[in-house]
Structures are given as C-alpha cells and as structure tokens.
A = this chain, B = another copy of it.
C-alpha cells in the first residue's frame, strides 16, 4: 500500500516553523510497519493545496493532510478538498454544538468565524477534536475517482500538534489498522538506554544478537541527547518471539542501563518507580534552572513524590534555601563537589525527602573559570545510603546541556532508588497536593 503525507501551511515554506508533523506521523506509522512513500509541503493557496491532493490521489491508497481546518482566512483545506471531490459543505449542528461547548466550558466567547468549522463536506466522517475546535475529516473513496480500479482513504488532520497527535493515535490509527490489516507478523520493540554511546552500544550488542540479525531481524539505533534507543523489528510468524529474545539478550549486556521501553520517558519512570516504592524526592537545581523539576512535574502523579524543587541560581539563594555554608561557597566556588554535596543534603534536610538531587555547573556560553571550562557540572545525590557526587563535562549549547545533565541525574537517582530498600508507610501520609 502507498501512503502520502501532505503538510499545508505557508509558514512551512517560509521557514517559520519546523515540520514536526512529518517526523511524528512518519514515526508513528513506521513503528506499526506502515511506510510513508512521499511527503509534500505546500503553501496555503488554492492551486497548491488542490494540486497536491489531486496528485496524491492519483498515486496513493492512503493520504493524510495536516493543517488548514481552522477558522481563519488562510484555512482552506476543508473547502478545497470538498470542491476537488465534488462534495458540497453541509452544516452539522452537532459539530457546532461541540465547538460552542468547547468555548463555554472555558468561559470564553464563541468567535463568529469558528462557525465555518461546522460545515463538513458531504459524506465525510467527522473525527471529533477533544483538544480544540476543528474536527478531523475522513473520506472513504470507494472507488477513488482519480485512480481507476483503486480505493483511497483520505484523512484530514488539524494543524496544532496537541490536537493532531491524540486524534491520530485514538481515532486514525485504529481505523487505519482495520482498513489495511497487517497480514504478515510484525513486531517492533524499542529499548530506551543510557550509559553507553551509540557506537559502543552497537559493538556490545553485535555478538549477542548476531544470529537474530542474520535470520532477518532489523536492528536500529537512534542516538538522542543523553540516551540511545535500540530498535528491533522482526517480520513473519515468529516476529514477537524474536524481539522478545533480542530484548532478553540486550538486558544482559554490561554497562548499559535500560530504563524503559517504547515511549517511556526517563522522568515518567522515575515518578512511577518512586511512587511504587513510596519514595520522595527534592531537587536543588542551579545551572539546569528548573529543567529537571519541570520534567518531573510533567508526569501526572508527580505530587506524590516531589517535595520541592529549588532553583537556587544565586549564591544567596543556595545559602538561604538550602543552607549551603557561605564558607563552602567562598572556599570552593559555587561549581564544586562540596557545594553540590551541600545542596543535595540541604534539599533532603529542608524538605524531609528520601532523596535530594543537586546540580551545579556552568551551562555557558560564559562563566568558565580556570580548571572549570564551560560544560563542567557536578551532580550530587543524597539518599538513605549517604551522598554521592559525580563530575561531568557536557560541552553543548545551553538547552542541550540542561537536557543531557538532567538525563545523567535522573538515570543516576533512578538506579540508586531501584536498589534502595522500600520506605516504611509514612506517619504523615503523602496526600496528593491539589495541583
């Protein structure tokens, strides 16, 4: 089967935004054994959009479009596709009611123009939008008028990622899998690892996995900041058993920490494992500036583990909120092993958390001192078993520095927590905070 993706939006052709839809949608499809054959981006003008959809219908079994379903004057995909397919737009009161509800439940006036989103091409299936106003639309073209002897399925998705992504996962994927069932076996397993770089990881895995690869299993690596994804893809009747066996062998390889699988995020695993062990956490961040606390609090349930996150960017705040002695700061400097240790112990002491994690370093671009180049960072973990400090040199741009340092700190405290004894039931219960 042939799949084509059409991204509409003048902002793409003007280079104003990155086309994250392409990567995200292609990835979601590839992980389920569907491969996109062509991706096209066109500006918001009638002939470009119409032309791209027309061409794709001449070639593809499944066409996905993104963008152009909203209420403003440059949102034209809905009407142009309706016109191309010869389908009149029909007013759907249920869609209008849903849009009205969306605004009213947020105490906002209903803009006049959003009414256009309730006009739906005849015969289109409406995909309700749980995170915005414009519904998605799906056309079963049986037959496809532009490709004799073939059917086509044309799906139109809204542009905002927070609307598109859940709609695709919850509504489009199940329909796609029903419509284009995968007859041969297919299994894909992704392991999320830290501890070894891509090349070393590949060297270590090569021997243990050699016979599976020879027998046809695909082995893929994707290096990201502070972690490497390992991907196994197998096809055929033994696909599931093959990737399970590959995972079993990978988990025995020394020096690599497999913190999760598939779409697990390191911060999600930290919250999950801390909750399961009734452990609590406090963070004292200097150069990471709240990045770690922010990621932890992205996870629902974080209030069950997080006592506090203290972003002590200045020396004064390290003293005031963490009790770091002024003499330690004066003697060793803020970026030092003793200060990292005092921060982690202070975070634990001041909040009563089981684990205190502290970061102090030089994110750059300025701030280097003799012996401490930009990228120098000390990570301290204080827990029931004492306090440990590691020194890293993370030489990257500012945001990458923060992300990588967070990966190192989170993987470390997770490994320490996994080996810590479970806490006894707390006397003062950890009732979830309202937020």
- A contact set with B: CB distance below 8 Å: 9-20, 22-30, 35-44, 48, 52, 70-74, 105-109, 111-114, 131, 160, 162, 188, 190, 197-200, 202-203, 219-223, 225, 229, 231, 283, 285-294, 296-298, 300, 302-303, 306-317, 320-321, 333-335, 350-352, 360-367, 369, 372, 375, 393-400, 402, 432-435
Within the complex, the shortest CB–CB distance from A53 to chain B, in Å, comes to: 13
**Are the C-beta atoms of B311 and A310 separated by less than 8 Å?**
yes
Contact of A351 among B162, B308, B317 (CB under 8 A): B317
- Whole-angstrom distance from the CB of A199 to the nearest CB of chain B? 3
> Do A220 and B434 touch across chains, with their CB atoms under 8 A apart?
no
The distance in angstroms between the C-alpha atoms of A22 and B22, with both chains bound, is 11
Q: Name which residue of chain B comes closest to A44, CB basis.
A: B220
Complex A-B, nearest 5 residue pairs according to Cβ-Cβ distance, in ascending order: A289-B297, A15-B27, A15-B26, A290-B293, A111-B199
Asked if B37 and A13 make an inter-chain contact with CB atoms under 8 angstroms apart, the answer reads yes
A289 pairs with B300, CB closer than 8 A: no
Q: A106-B375, A363-B435 known; 20 other A-B pairs, CB under 8 Å?
A: A12-B26, A12-B39, A13-B38, A15-B36, A16-B220, A70-B223, A71-B198, A106-B394, A112-B203, A162-B225, A289-B309, A290-B297, A291-B294, A303-B313, A306-B314, A308-B313, A308-B321, A309-B310, A320-B351, A372-B434
Q: Which residues of B contact A311 (CB under 8 A)?
A: 283, 290, 293, 297, 306, 308-311
Asked if B74 and A220 make an inter-chain contact with CB atoms under 8 angstroms apart, the answer reads yes
Determine whether the beta carbon of B302 is less than 8 Å from that of A203.
Answer: no
Distance in angstroms between the alpha carbons of A36 and B287 in the assembled complex: 39
Chain B min CB distance to A314 (Å)? 5
B42 pairs with A41, CB closer than 8 A: no
Q: Taking A298-B289, A395-B105, A400-B162 as contacts, is the C-beta distance between A41 and B39 under 8 angstroms?
A: yes
Give complex CA distance A15, B375 in Å: 30
